[in-house]
Amino acid sequence: MKKIAIMTAGGDCAGLNSVIKTVVLSAEKNGITVVGVLDGYKGFIEKKYTVLTGKMVENIDSIGGTILGSSNKECPFHYPSKEDKNVYIDRTDEGIEGLRALGVDSMIVIGGDGTLDSARVIHEHGLNCIGIPKTIDNDMSASDPTIGFDTAVEAATECIERVRTTAYSHRRVMVVETMGRTSGYLTLYAGFASSADVILLPEIEYNLDIVANKVKSVMESEKRCCIVVVSEAAKEKGKAEVIKKIVEDSFEQKRYGGVSERLAESLEKMTGYEARNVVLGHIQRGGAPSVSDSILASRLGGFAMSLLLKNEFGKIVGIKNGNLEKMDFPKDRVPRLLNVKENDIIVTARNMGVCFGDM
Ligand code: F6P
């Protein structure tokens, strides 16, 4: 019987289980066994697997995260050696051999740009791969949107709306920090949907005086409160992003965090209005998928399976201009950023009086 593998890697998000369910049920219908690789590339190298059956996955699509586990640290071609954990070597072939020993001849990999770059390397090393893009950051050119983005926007928007009612009661300035790494999609969509007064994005450096003036004018109006939504990697003009920690053994070493605390302190001093900060953090990644994410995940899982059944490998599947598309694995890892001049949400928000910290 033909065997394939499936793996989720990188930061988790909602919708991953819908991909797994779709792949396993479609495989079963076609007489294919699916081996799940556990905990991302850690399980790939350390040969930790589980066989997935239709029965096991039939109800997982409404569960957040991934039943297979994930990790956003390991990289198969830069992995600690068995002899010395401080020495990093290419162990891709070892991972491939483990799956081949089980009779697996191909693998569907669901992940962000780092994960899919590793999938490209695995494919080049001889194990057929198909990639499916996911990330709450929506920063992959391979798909617009990526799996997990819609759910994260919903979660962040709901949280900001909750923050607004307490801000209103206390006549406060609230600075809400969102995830997204160097790309501002999540911040922009959640900030816009929750009618934030100020939205600070990594793509637009902000001027603190401009932000403080906007905050003052909002607080002096009948609004009673001011909502500032700031992306974790937003930068004050001429300054660096605020980094929380460096994860040495991670592909993306920087972990952002702390910008909202600094900003709230500065705004309180500069405006005289009481300010608080809220970091939304992993709340944005957790929880059940939105209907849109569930459908997107199933569509991409289904498309990946249709390529696999035609023995078409070495591709990433995504959504482009609303249609399913397949494309080659990119050779470079460039995050997709907002086009701040042309993005229609930014244009509309500016016309509605939202401040982006630059004018
Ligand atoms: O890439 C997804 C993401 O949630 C980013 O938005 C965030 O910067 C990062 O992962 C957080 O990583 P970790 O889970 O390691 O804290």
> For residue 248, what pLDDT is reported?
81
Nearest to 178 by CA among 190, 192, 194: 190
> For residue 332, what pLDDT is reported?
82
Over the stretch 152-197, which tens digit does the pLDDT of each residue have?
999 999 999 999 999 999 999 999 999 999 999 999 999 999 999 9
Is 39 an active-site residue? Answer: no
Ligand 1 atom, smallest distance to 255 CA:
8
pTM of the complete model: 0.97
Both tokens of residue 216? 């003052």
What residue has token string 């001429």? 238
**Protein residues whose CB sits closer than 6 Å to any atom of ligand 1:** 11, 72, 112, 135-137, 179-181, 232, 255-256, 285
> For residue 331, what pLDDT is reported?
82
| Residue positions counted in the chain | 359
CA of 349 to the centre of ligand 1 (A): 26
State the DSSP string of 156-199: HHHHHHHHHHHHHHHT-EEEEEE--TT--HHHHHHHHHTT-SEE
> For residue 329, what pLDDT is reported?
94
Q: Which amino acid is at 331?
A: K
Among 73, 136, 186, which residue has the most ligand 1 atoms within 8 Å of its CB, making it the best to mutate? 136
Residues of the chain with pLDDT under 50: none
> For residue 250, what pLDDT is reported?
80
> For residue 249, what pLDDT is reported?
76
Of these residues, 39, 137, 150, 293, which one is catalytic?
Answer: 137
> For residue 132, what pLDDT is reported?
98
> For residue 321, what pLDDT is reported?
94
Domains of the chain (ranges, CATH numbers):
3-147+289-328 (3.40.50.450), 149-285+339-351 (3.40.50.460)
> For residue 251, what pLDDT is reported?
75
The DSSP secondary-structure symbol of 83 reads S
Classify 45 as helix, strand or coil.
helix
CA of 27 to the centre of ligand 1 (A): 31
Q: What does the radius of gyration of the chain's CA atoms come to, in whole angstroms? A: 22
CB-hemisphere CA count at 13 Å for 22? 22
Over the stretch 77-92, which tens digit does the pLDDT of each residue have?
999 999 999 999 999 9
Over the stretch 60-74, which tens digit does the pLDDT of each residue have?
999 999 999 999 988
What angle in degrees, to the nearest 10, is found between the helix axes of 344-351 and 185-193? 40
